Structure 1
């Protein structure tokens, strides 16, 4: 029988959690109700009390109640994470369901992020319609917007909670029939060697050519969308040593980080593979643009740029020669710290579909500033630097990058890493 952990503050959301529990029971799902509310008494009886959760964090509940709310929230999140991981290790967990506002969402998603990819995770939150990157991280958490605050059962919250319970029941039952947790050890031990690749819509043709070539060579290629969250996921998994190699061809998130766009992956992008010693081939895909939200949200300081509406939700601007030079210096600085085989492939005839010759973002001067700064920054290093008289999306460019990565992987392993 499938079992779902319900993780929440029962001193404030007990009635709502009771509704979720009862609905899951009608589906034949067992539940484990875990109380993370440190301050008050639960409004519904838990299966694992707040005192037990505090103890799992190594603290006494009474002493915790004397501390500030932030410290209490952090401790209860740690304790609940330990409790849930123990349940998972014992084979007693087939999903996690939670609801809450900012505090409850922060605690519950911390618990969820600790579980492997593939374990069902559903968060019903009043925060789910805003910036949720810090809640989801590199995990596979499903978020459901609660529309109204989690404050009682009403004609809006009742059907939404029912939907959440129905969704979790289905996911948990499916998981119980055949666990689909994606563990690092399993990824490393089973099947073809894994390669990570970064891609955006404007670099798809080039990356697809590389992906197809690597597949022919015997690799399984995981493609990460250069959307901020995609870059963070790539970095997190590369840091865990899951990849035989990384084909980091699309670096547009670095441009957003520099200029203030909305799809930044943060300052640590383009570092994990190098620090881990993973072979990597890096290129400059989509560094000719920065992405913002809808057109009416574009900051006034950029109105005089080459502005293009990519879709109703995304507006892009062209990076300047000065910004491109700084990006070249930043990429070089990151790659200089690499401890494994690293190569940079720089196409000279455009970095994206918008940068095609004759295209709206075709700017040889800006692209040249990028390449020159990058080349200078990598001078006298062990990083291989090559230029190609092609466009990024030309098939021969992607195939050359794939072939070089394969050579680096085989060279590092000392034997054929994949079957040609």
Structure 2
């Protein structure tokens, strides 16, 4: 109420000024009643003019952007301006806080790995994040307020968007370069829709690989079991000579070995996938490993190939000996199996400038077409299935090699060309390579006794 006193003072001053002015005019004109009326009118007019000026200034401030301070007049107009200004500032703070929260919320949605598309009641794009823009080839700025069905003309999507029930997600294949999208629509607000999209290409691929894996395992095991069952039935139902019995038993043994090899490889893969990465403090000699590989390759080749194995590398590798031996042996055995008689097989070690190294297995076999190279490490993938079975392969060897290298921080690199042979490299990082007698480095050096 601090505006009330100035208000009374202003009114009193206006009355006094009006009385003096009216008294002077009344004496001048010899009209005493006119002086009284004129005094009251002057006082009222003075108050109205002052209030009008102050009210106009406040209204001008309210019509503007309210960036500067409100008029600081005395009396009720000053108090009113202060109150209005404070309310405006509080409103601006609330709006700024809500805008910041909205921006943070939209930023969080924008960072989501899933696509988010907001549509109004007429299916116009209200907002979308970057992932949804990538999924549907939209521009997050340019395409706002555009009808989504005009931009995305997939009949399946348009039909799904206009359906009444969204309980089952829509699967879209080959949408603007993507393999498979899973699209879910949720209603919210007043007829608005929330379109959620997820790229499930890898999941679909993994599911397909798992189905193929189960089918391949069933097929690979069923084949030798069928052969064994047939031989057993033959031995039980037919009188066989000693030679025939020996031949049947030999074939049964081969099928049993094939099935045991398959089961062994499956168990190896399961163990590799479920085991922690080996530490880099257990060292093994590469020369001893290559000597064992050379002995097995000579026995498998039977003199049909020209084998050249580098046996004097003076290098040690950090890792699990059985796994590294399995990886290298798989590559050498494959080279022996798939290289025609008279071909050359070379196994060598090469050190790189950054301290890393690679074990290279090259052959002069038939080679592999470029389109098959990315899939060679898939389980049971064969370039020529019949030829692979004839050579005794299970289709899991390169998959085992890939897993061994990943566990040791390395990489399997493949180069091949039809008619020019193949080259497989086991690339190992510098932390797992050292020369014989070289002092320990890194973590191993920190843990070494002093």
Structure of larger gyration radius: 2
Q: Relative contact order (C-alpha < 8 Å, sep 6+): which is higher? A: 1
TM-score by length of 1: 0.22
